[in-house]
Amino acid sequence: MQKMRCKIIQGLLIKRSEGFTLLEVMIALVILAVGLLGLAALQLVAVKSNAFSSEMTYATMLAQQHAESLKNLPFTDGNLTQGSHTAVGSSKGVQYTVTWNVTDNVPATDMKSVNVTVLWLSLRQGAAGQTAQQQTVTASLQTIIRNQS
């Protein structure tokens, strides 16, 4: 009799669990949804950052190419006259403006200092509803050209 009573008491104390309650499932789904929304937002930021990196890489390469081409020009070329000069280029639908400023006799006589700067209108968009904004980040290089004659 005592054995029977122990089994009944054990049966009452041990709750059998053969599945999940509706509340547990709902809480798990809410946690899963919050995590997935966070991942979706992270993916969006990654795509925008990748687009900006691509634009910045191209702008830097364009500035370097332009500086190299200016270094290969004759010292008296029109593109190396003192003052500001501008050229426009584009890649992947983005328009880049290359500006170079030439200063004569800097750092010494028969030398020219050339500063090349690239600006562009980015394809990246700001917050919802905003249009693309002019990037304030610029790719900039400085080079010195010496008179070889």
Per-residue pLDDT at 112 exceeds 90? yes
Pick from 40, 38, 17, 36: which is nearest to 28 by CA?
Answer: 36
Q: Which H or E run contains 85?
A: strand 83-91
Report the distance separating Cα 58 and Cα 44, nearest Å.
22
Q: Mind listing the pLDDT tens digit for each residue in 14-62?
A: 555 677 899 999 999 999 999 999 999 999 999 988 988 888 899 999 9
Q: What percent of the chain has pLDDT over 70?
A: 79
pLDDT of res. 121: 80
- Tell me the pTM: 0.70
Averaged pLDDT of the chain: 84
The pLDDT confidence band at residue 131, using thresholds 50, 70 and 90, is low
Alpha-helix runs per DSSP H in the chain: 2-13, 22-71
**Is 121:135 a contact under the CB 8 Å cutoff?**
yes
| One-letter amino acid for residue 67 of the chain | A
Instruction: Fill in the DSSP letter of residue 80.
Output: G
Task: Give the pair of three-digit tokens for residue 83.
Answer: 């003052």
* Lookup result for tokens 């995590």: 35
Fold of 21-146: Pantoate--beta-alanine Ligase; Chain: A,domain 2 (3.30.1300)
Q: How far apart are CA 76 and CA 82, in angstroms?
A: 10
